[in-house]
C-alpha cells in the first residue's frame, strides 16, 4: 500500500513538470538523469528486428506506450498530428511496451488510423534495462538528437503545440513551429 501511494505521489510530481500535464517547463530532472551516451536497444518493427542505433543520423521522436492504456490512446491523435507537421524533419517511432504480437500491433495501427511506425519494444526496454530506465508513467515521450542522445522527456499526454515547443527547445529553432 505504501509503495502504491509513493509511486502515485511521484507520478503526480512528475506530471506537474510536464508541458500539457498541468505544469510548465520541461522534465529537466528526468533528462539530466540520462548519460550522454546514445540510447540503444532492440525493437520489432514490421515483423523485423531492428536496433535503435540504425535510426541515427536524424533526430528521433520516440513514444513508449501501452496500446491498452486510455492515456496512451488519448495521446495518439496528438502524435499523429505532430507526425503530419514534423515528420519531414525528424523520425517518429512509437513502441508498445506490452508483450504484443505483430498482428495485434498492425490491427491497432489500422484501427486508429496511424501513419507513423508503431513497433514492439524489446524485453530489455519493458524491464527497464536500457538507458531509458524504468518507465515512471506511460505514455513517455523522448526526443533524441541525431546522435541518439536524449534531449528532452515528457510524460503523459502532450498537446501538439507543446510538442512543437519541446522540439524547438531540444533540437533548435528549425524544428517545431
Count how many Cα atoms sit within 13 Å of the Cα of residue 166 in the half-sphere of its side chain. Answer: 33
pTM: 0.77
pLDDT single digits (tens) 75-87: 999 999 999 999 9
Count: domains in the chain: 1
- Strand-pair partners of 65: 96
The pLDDT profile of the chain, 177 residues, written as one tens digit per residue, is 444 333 333 343 333 333 344 333 444 334 444 455 678 887 888 777 888 888 888 999 999 998 888 999 999 999 999 999 999 999 999 988 887 666 678 888 888 899 998 888 888 888 888 877 788 788 999 999 998 888 999 999 999 999 999 999 999 988 876
pLDDT at 42: 79
What's the CATH code of the domain at 82? 3.40.30.10
Q: Evaluate whether residue 68 is within a structural domain.
A: yes
Whether 18 contacts 156, CB under 8 Å: yes
pLDDT at 55: 81
- Strand-pair partners of 43: 50, 121
Q: Evaluate whether residue 106 is within a structural domain.
A: yes
pLDDT at 64: 92
What whole-number distance in Å separates Cα of residue 141 and Cα of residue 70? 16
Looking at beta carbons, which pairs linking 17-23 to residues 24 or more positions away fall under 8 Å? 18/154, 18/155, 18/156, 18/158, 19/154, 19/158, 19/159, 19/162, 19/165, 19/166, 20/154, 20/156, 20/157, 20/158, 20/159, 20/162, 21/154, 21/155, 21/156, 21/157, 21/158
Range of the domain at 162: 2-171
Q: Evaluate whether residue 176 is within a structural domain.
A: no
Q: Evaluate whether residue 83 is within a structural domain.
A: yes
Whether 81 contacts 157, CB under 8 Å: no
Q: Evaluate whether residue 177 is within a structural domain.
A: no
Amino acid at each position: 500500500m505504501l509503495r502504491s501511494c509513493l509511486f502515485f505521489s511521484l507520478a503526480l510530481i512528475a506530471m506537474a513538470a510536464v508541458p500539457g500535464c498541468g505544469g510548465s517547463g520541461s522534465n529537466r530532472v528526468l533528462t539530466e538523469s540520462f548519460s550522454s551516451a546514445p540510447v540503444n536497444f532492440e525493437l520489432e518493427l514490421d515483423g523485423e528486428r531492428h536496433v535503435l542505433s540504425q535510426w541515427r543520423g536524424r533526430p528521433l521522436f520516440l513514444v513508449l506506450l501501452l496500446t491498452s492504456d486510455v492515456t496512451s490512446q488519448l495521446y495518439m491523435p496528438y502524435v499523429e498530428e505532430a507526425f503530419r507537421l514534423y515528420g519531414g524533419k525528424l523520425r517518429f517511432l512509437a513502441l508498445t511496451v506490452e508483450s504484443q504480437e505483430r498482428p495485434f500491433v498492425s490491427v491497432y495501427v489500422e484501427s486508429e488510423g496511424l501513419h507513423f511506425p508503431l513497433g514492439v519494444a524489446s524485453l530489455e526496454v519493458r524491464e527497464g534495462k536500457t538507458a531509458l530506465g524504468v518507465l515512471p508513467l506511460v505514455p513517455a515521450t523522448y526526443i533524441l538528437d541525431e546522435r541518439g542522445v536524449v534531449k528532452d522527456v515528457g510524460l503523459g499526454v502532450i498537446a501538439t503545440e507543446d510538442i512543437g515547443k519541446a522540439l524547438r527547445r531540444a533540437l533548435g529553432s528549425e524544428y517545431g513551429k
